[in-house]
Structure formats: C-alpha cells, structure tokens
C-alpha cells in the first residue's frame, strides 16, 4: 500500500510536465498553416505552367484575415469555417511579397477584422501597410460594432477608407438578415452613425456596403444614404457560393435570400440619384475580386465555390495568382480601379 502511494505521488511531477507538453503541442498544431496543397486541389493543377497567359499583378487585394464574426448574416459568403489567424510576422511577410509584386491597395476584411485582439492585430497591419510598405491605399470592411474611438486615435491616420456594411435602416429587417449582435442586442444603426462621425473626426473616408436580398429589396434608402454622405455606396446583389452559403457543407443557407436580376436592377433604379452609388451584379462581382483567405491562399470562385491556391507564403505571389480565377478585365470594367487614396480625394472633413 505504501509503495503504491509513493509511486502515485512520484508520478505527479511527470504528469504535470506531460500535460504542459501536450497543451503546447495542441496550440502549435492549431496555429499551423495548412499543407501546401489543399485536399480538394489536384497536385497537377497547381504545378502546371499556364502558357500564353499575361502576367497578372495583384493591384488590389482583399485579405480576409479572419473568418470569425460576432454577427450571423444569413447570406454571408465568407463564413467561420476556421478560427485561424496568421501570426502577425507571417502576415507582414505576405503583404510585403504582394507589395513587391505590384499591390497598390489592400482591403482588410473578415469575418469581422476587428474581432482579432480587439482590433490591435488589424491596426498594426494597417499601420505597417501605410507606414512601412507605403501603399497608396489601405482600406477596411467592418460591421462597425467592435470599433472604438481609441482605435481611430491610434490608427486612423494610416487608414484611407473604412467601409461599414449596412443592409437596412429598419432595425427589424437587420435582425431578420442577422446583421446584429444577439448577445448584447446592440443596434447596428447606432454603430453605423457612430463610426461615420469618427471617420469625419479622424479624416478617414467613409463608405457603405449593402447586399440586396429578399428582406430589403423594396426598401427606399435615399434619405438615409444622403444624410450619411458616404464617398462610395457599394450595392451588391446577393450571391451564392458553394460551401459558404449554399450546399450541404455550408454554414449558411442563403438560397431563400437571393433576388432576381430584375429585382436588383429595380433597387438600383430606385436609388439612381445617389451620386456615390456603385452597383455590382453577381456577374460583375463573382470573379473580379482578388480574394486572399486567412492562410494567404487566393480563392478561385469561377466554379461557384471557393477553390484555394497554395499559400503565397509557400509558392510566391506569381505562382499563387495563376490559380486565383481573377478576371482582370471585369475588375477594370466594374470600376475596380478608382481614386482610393484619401490624399487624392476632395473630401470636406
């Protein structure tokens, strides 16, 4: 009996050390980037050189640095499939590679980009891109609910444009869409107006993004948009992406939220007198964005889902770009290149 107790007591330090080792190992596995070749991409597809194709430049890149979000919008097409966020040094490395290959504008998105370390992670990348990389344009898309004035005080001078997503000026419609924070019942519209005021105070261009869906397709937003005065009002048609908001493996099901092309045109026609209006149909939107995921893989949407390239951290920007599905002609046709540096905008602060 005494010997058994002695053995049990003697093994306690060993068990503590073993537990600590296992915890460190689990954390390291969680923070690892995926293999160079994703499971759903054939090896030969990612190693064959495409002859005769012009060399693309990543002029404007949308970096979805996280998939996590505090909202649950029913049509979301970049859902919380993982909780992964790159270590900030790797993110800086990837952004530097993109700048060296021609990137002029980076747009940080999510998920909700302010959810990571309460915005500090995003803020440091915004500062790095503007101050160290000297990018002409650094922009962010957010739902606005997690932004604080302290963030603007520290990082506002490095940011050119802040876009806040708003799909309705009716609180009940926002709740139907999922454009709200259920845990606090905070009014999304209060966040929208508060962020607009901070943008004016700290000289950041203010933008609004709206997704037209079955819940807001008949809404008249003219008075509200005129009052808010965004530099751009981006109006998107609700888009289905396999594995994101459509199909058996999707976290969201947006099939009941889609509007027809005519319904989208009717919405845009109703708001045609808003000078900042920039409408984008599904046809214009689907392949005209360079989308970079949380692992710094380009996402090809040409087949109706998001098929990842290898990470540019592993194969370089040019090799990853070959499998981005990016339609540069449509990017230019939809007006993807515009006055995107606040230094060049004629804004009345």
- 3-class DSSP string for the chain: CHHHHHHHHHCHHHHHHHHHHHHHHHHHHHCCCCCCCCCCCCHHHHHCCCCCCCCCCCCEEEEECCCCCCCCCCCCCCCCCCCCCCCHHHHHHHHHHHHHCCCCEEEEECCCHHHHHHHHHHHHHHHHHHHHCCCCEEEEEECCCCCCHHHHHHHHHHCCEEEEECCCCCHHHHHHHCCCECCCCECHHHHHHHHHHHHHHCCCEEEEEEEECCCCCCCCCHHHHHHHCCCEEEEEECCCCECCCECCCCCCCCHHHCCCHHHHHHHHHHCCCCCCEEEECHHHHCCCCEEECCCCEEEECCCCECEEEEEHHHHCHHHHHCCCCCCHHHHHHCCCCCCCCCCCCCCCC
Question: What amino acid positions are annotated as catalytic residues?
Answer: 69, 73, 76
């Amino acid at each position: 009996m005494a010997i058994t107790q002695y053995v049990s007591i003697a093994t306690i330090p060993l068990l503590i050390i073993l537990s600590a080792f296992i915890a460190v190992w689990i954390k390291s596995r969680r923070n690892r980037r995926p293999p160079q070749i994703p499971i759903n991409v054939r090896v030969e597809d990612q190693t064959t050189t495409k002859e005769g194709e012009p060399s693309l430049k990543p002029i404007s890149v949308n970096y979805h640095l996280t998939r996590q979000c505090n909202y649950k919008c029913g049509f979301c097409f970049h859902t919380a499939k993982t909780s992964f966020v790159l270590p900030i040094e790797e993110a800086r490395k990837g952004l530097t590679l993109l700048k060296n290959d021609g990137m002029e504008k980076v747009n940080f998105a999510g998920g909700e980009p302010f959810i990571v370390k309460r915005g500090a992670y995003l803020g440091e990348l915004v500062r790095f891109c503007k101050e160290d990389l000297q990018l002409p344009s650094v922009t962010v898309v957010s739902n606005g609910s997690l932004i604080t004035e302290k963030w603007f005080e520290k990082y506002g001078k490095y940011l050119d444009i802040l876009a806040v997503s708003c799909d309705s000026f009716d609180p009940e419609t926002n709740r139907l869409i999922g454009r709200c924070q259920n845990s606090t019942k905070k009014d999304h519209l209060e966040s929208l107006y508060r962020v607009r005021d901070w943008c004016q105070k700290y000289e950041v261009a203010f933008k609004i993004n709206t997704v037209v869906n079955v819940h807001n397709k008949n809404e008249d937003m003219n008075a509200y948009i005129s009052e808010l005065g965004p530099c751009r009002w981006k109006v998107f048609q609700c888009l289905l992406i396999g594995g994101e908001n459509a199909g058996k493996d999707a976290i969201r099901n947006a099939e009941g939220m889609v509007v027809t092309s005519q319904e989208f045109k009717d919405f845009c026609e109703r708001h045609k007198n808003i000078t900042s209006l920039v409408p984008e149909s599904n046809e214009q939107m689907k392949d005209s964005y360079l989308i970079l995921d949380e692992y710094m893989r380009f996402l090809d949407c040409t087949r109706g889902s998001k098929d990842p390239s290898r990470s540019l951290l592993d194969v370089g920007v040019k090799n990853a770009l070959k499998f981005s599905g990016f339609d540069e002609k449509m990017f230019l046709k939809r007006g993807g290149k515009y006055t995107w540096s606040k230094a060049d905008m004629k804004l009345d602060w």
